[in-house]
Amino acid sequence: MATREDEILAQEEAEKSILITHSMGGLASRAAIVRCGIEANVLGVIHGVQPVRGAAVLYRRFFTGAVGEFDGGGGLARILGNTPEKFTKMMHGLAGPMELLPSDRYLKRENRQAWIFEVASGATTPTNPEGNVFDILLGTTAPTALPYGYLTTHWANELRARVRGARQFHETRVAEQKHAQTWSIYGTGVNTDIDTWFDPNNENQREPYHVVISQSSLGDGTVPARSGSALFPDGAVNTTDPGASVTDFKQWAIDGVEHEPAYRNSTVQRVARRVIQHLLRTVV
C-alpha cells in the first residue's frame, strides 16, 4: 500500500493524499502509516466501518460455518463455506481475513473488557475462559479453541500461524495508533454478532455443544459498534449528527449503515464529503 501511494503521488505530481478506507482497509492503512512512514504524505484519513478491535462474526463462523440467514444469504454462505469444516478449510491459508479475529481489547455489549465468548453451564452462571484471547484460540480446550481437528497437521499448523499473525498485527503493528488527522464513520441499527455462546445442553447429539448466535442491533451487520468506534473511545468527539462540525467531532455513528455498501449510504457520503472539504481548505 505504501508503494502504491508513492506511485499515485508521483503520477499525479502531488505532495499529499487523502485516504478513504473501507472495513479492513482501515487496518491496512493504519499499519502502513505506523510501519512504513507514510504519515507525512497523508493529509488526512477517513475510516469507514473499520473493525478496529475485530469482529465476533469471524470467530463464530468457525463453529457454525457461514449461515445464509445471518451471513449475507445462501450464495455467499456457500462461497465462504456453509459448514464449520468447509469454513475452517477456507480460512486456514488466508492471512488477511484472519485479522478480523477479535483482539484482546474487544468489548462486548456491557461496555467492559471481556471475552467475546461465554461457555454456558446449563442453568448455572455462564463462565468465561481466562487469558489472552489469542492464547485461547491457539489452545486445545474445546470448544473455545479454533477447530483445528478439521485439518491435517500441516494445515492446522498453517491456521495457527495465521492466528499468531493476527495477534502480532493487532498488538504491535496497529495497536490502535492512527494518523493525527483521522475521522471515523461506523454503522448501527443492523443485527450484528456481539459475542458467541457455547451451550453443552445440545439436542443434536452429533456435536458435543450447540453454538448460539448472539446478535444485537449495535453494529453494521459485520462490525459491532464497540469495535467500529474504538479509534475514538472518548465520547466527547463522537456524534450522530451528520451536520456536526468536523473540527469538533471525529467520529460518526450512523443508523442503518450496512457493512459492505456503507459508502453507498447518502449520510455516509455527506459526512465524508464534508471532511474532504475541510482537509482541502487546510492547504488552499
pLDDT per residue as tens digits for the range 101-150:
999 888 665 555 555 555 555 545 566 677 888 999 999 988 889 999 99
* CA atoms of 244 and 86, how far apart (whole Å): 46
**CA-closest candidate to residue 255, choices 176, 190, 169:** 190
- R_g (Cα) of the chain, nearest Å: 20
Residue 205, amino acid: Q
Predicted confidence at residue 215, as pLDDT, reads 86
Average pLDDT, the chain: 88
Is 52:137 a contact under the CB 8 Å cutoff?
no
The model's pLDDT over 19-45, given as tens digits with 9 standing for 90+, comes to 999 999 999 999 888 888 888 899 999
20-34, 35-49, 54-68, 70-84: which range is least confident on average?
70-84
Strand, coil or helix: 117: strand
Strand, coil or helix: 201: coil
* CA atoms of 14 and 200, how far apart (whole Å): 59
- pLDDT top residue among 125 and 92: 92
* CA atoms of 81 and 261, how far apart (whole Å): 22
Grid cell in block for residue 20: 478513504
The model's pLDDT over 141-180, given as tens digits with 9 standing for 90+, comes to 888 899 999 999 999 999 999 999 999 999 887 877 899 9
The model's pLDDT over 170-222, given as tens digits with 9 standing for 90+, comes to 988 787 789 999 999 999 999 999 888 887 766 665 666 778 788 889 999 99
214 phi/psi in degrees, rounded to 5: -110, 110
Predicted confidence at residue 173, as pLDDT, reads 77
